[in-house]
Amino acid sequence: MNKPARNTLSLVAIALLAAAVLAACGPGGKAKGPAPAAPAATEAKTAQPPVLAPLPPMGFNTWNKFGCDVDEKLIRETADAMVETGMLEAGYKYLVIDDCWQVDRAADGRIIADPQRFPSGMKALADYVHGKGLLFGIYSDIGPKTCAGRPGAAGHFDLDAATYAEWGVDYIKVDWCNCDDLDAPAEYARFRGALDRAGRPIVLSICEWGRNDPWTWAKGVGQLWRTTADIGDNWASVVWIIGANSRLADAAGPGHWNDPDMLEVGNGGMTFDEYKTHFSLWAVMAAPLMAGNDLRAMSAETRSILLNKEVIAVDQDPLGVQGRVIIERGYGGQVWMKPLADGSRAVAFVNYSDRELAQYVRWAQIGIPAGPAKVRDLWAREDMGVHSDTGKHYNERFEVKVPSHGVVLVRIWPGA
């Protein structure tokens, strides 16, 4: 009885082995190679290009101080000054030539730099700027003519973008003069496309003065956009721009910044306190910090403002949040708050009136827990100690005295 069973089992085993060989070899009888690996559960994502201007751009632009009076000597000397004065170390890296560097177009349409003012050419000048560790910026206009009547970019977007990439341009400010009959979102998007096709990462500064509400469409097109008309070197202009830009905080963030225009610090039209307020509010609003004074001849006061690294750190905070007005006082006082990446708060007490004002804030108003907090005055560069506000008593409020047209800017760390 056992022998037939073993024979039956042998036949079954042979049949199974034959089936396995057939499965491995297939109908043709030839052995197959290893089975292909199963597709990965997730495909590797296409590498994304780095975000341009993840922090508000910092640098220098020629227009506020020099207007059309620009040349190669000025740019080389300014590049030298940006290194020698500590501006580069403080974060100012873009050196931007505004309007009036260009004079014509060649027969092939290529833009021509003024050969009298820039005899070495723009490529050589960009190389010099890059050699200093800086980045090189230039200016154009969406329309046929710039604001100063020089050749604009209209009809030459791709050629200009390729030319600028060839020169080594890192940043371009594009104006809106002679463009009233054009569609701003469409034209700037076309220009952005031309820059992308040129193959060089170039920051695009959209300068249409807020006429077409760029904060509603320019994200992904430009890295910064002007929100107002041009700044003037006077207190009234700065106050007006602060008010206009303050309403647009939701539009700002890494790679897309509201631009209330270039700095006037050091140009002589305002007091020391007014310039500190100007610089402080640009920092609290996470605005681009583009110096517009003569960097070759800065006073000690001007240096103390432009090179204050603690105030610059507020502007350059990686959280990328534009500060907001949290208290509006009817007698000329205002309190701003900007949350920072480490959990601290930058708080600016601003005085628009013509007399000294006492101003205060409670911890609950700036979103930090009741109890002790460390406070530092960023302009005095001094610790103000630990202040406790439990929220239970009126006399626990944090109070400062602010000079006329001035500011007190503090940084507050909760739980100190």
Give pLDDT, residue 36: 44
Assess whether pLDDT exceeds 70 at residue 407: yes
Check: pTM over 0.85? Answer yes or no. yes
Condensed to tens digits (0 to 9), the pLDDT of residues 345-387 reads 999 999 999 999 999 999 999 999 999 999 999 999 999 999 9
* pLDDT band for position 23 (cuts 50, 70, 90): very low
Q: What is the mean pLDDT of residues 257-286?
A: 98
Assess whether pLDDT exceeds 90 at residue 115: yes
CB count in 10 Å sphere of residue 37? 6
The residue annotated as part of the active site, out of 141, 175, 315, 389, is 175
Condensed to tens digits (0 to 9), the pLDDT of residues 212-230 reads 999 999 999 999 999 999 9
Asked whether 59 and 96 are in contact (CB, 8 A), the reply is yes
Same fold, 58-315 and 324-414: no
Residue carrying the six token digits 């007490």: 349
* pLDDT band for position 106 (cuts 50, 70, 90): very high
Give the SS3 label for residue 140: strand
Asked whether 72 and 113 are in contact (CB, 8 A), the reply is no
Condensed to tens digits (0 to 9), the pLDDT of residues 149-190 reads 999 999 999 999 999 999 999 999 999 999 989 999 999 999
Assess whether pLDDT exceeds 50 at residue 306: yes
Give pLDDT, residue 328: 95
- Domain segments of the chain: what residues? 58-315, 324-414
- How does DSSP assign 153-216, residue by residue? -TT-HHHHHHHHHHHT--EEEEE-TT-TTS-HHHHHHHHHHHHHHHTS--EEEEESTTTT-GGG
Give pLDDT, residue 330: 86
CA-CA distances (angstroms) from residue 398 to 152, 277, 357, 358, 371?
53, 20, 14, 10, 12
In the chain, the largest separation of any two C-alpha atoms, in whole Å, equals: 119
| CA–CA dist 121, 40 (Å, integer) | 52
Assess whether pLDDT exceeds 70 at residue 38: no
CA-CA distances (angstroms) from residue 123 to 112, 141, 231?
12, 20, 31
The residue annotated as part of the active site, out of 114, 127, 196, 230, is 230
Give pLDDT, residue 217: 98
Assess whether pLDDT exceeds 50 at residue 8: no
**3 CB-contact burial (10 Å; exposed 0-12 / middle 13-18 / buried 19+):** exposed
Going by DSSP bridges, is the β-strand pair 324-328/382-389 parallel, antiparallel, or unpaired?
Answer: unpaired
User: Percentage of the chain with pLDDT > 90?
Assistant: 87
Give pLDDT, residue 180: 87
Condensed to tens digits (0 to 9), the pLDDT of residues 63-92 reads 999 999 999 999 999 999 999 999 999 999
CATH superfamily of 324-414: Golgi alpha-mannosidase II (2.60.40.1180)
CA-CA distances (angstroms) from residue 193 to 53, 162, 204, 217?
17, 11, 11, 15
Give the SS3 label for residue 151: strand
CATH superfamily of 58-315: Aldolase class I (3.20.20.70)
Give pLDDT, residue 46: 60
| CA–CA dist 188, 172 (Å, integer) | 12
Q: What is the mean pLDDT of residues 208-213?
A: 98
Give pLDDT, residue 49: 74
Going by DSSP bridges, is the β-strand pair 135-141/94-96 parallel, antiparallel, or unpaired?
Answer: parallel
Asked whether 222 and 206 are in contact (CB, 8 A), the reply is yes
Q: Would residue 180 show up in a list of annotated catalytic residues for this protein?
A: no
Per DSSP, 222 falls in state B
Which sign does the torsion angle of CA 62, 80, 267, 404 carry? positive
174 is written with which tokens? 């594009």
Give pLDDT, residue 14: 33
CA-CA distances (angstroms) from residue 221 to 48, 96, 135, 203, 256?
16, 20, 20, 10, 9
Q: Would residue 230 show up in a list of annotated catalytic residues for this protein?
A: yes
Q: What is the mean pLDDT of residues 6-25?
A: 36
For the chain, the straight-line distance linking the first and the last C-alpha, in angstroms and rounded, comes to: 91
For the chain, give the mean pLDDT: 91
- How does DSSP assign 45-68, residue by residue? PPPPPPPS-SS--EEEESHHHHTT
Q: What is the mean pLDDT of residues 102-110?
A: 98
Asked whether 263 and 64 are in contact (CB, 8 A), the reply is yes
Give pLDDT, residue 190: 98
Amino acid letter, residue 104? D
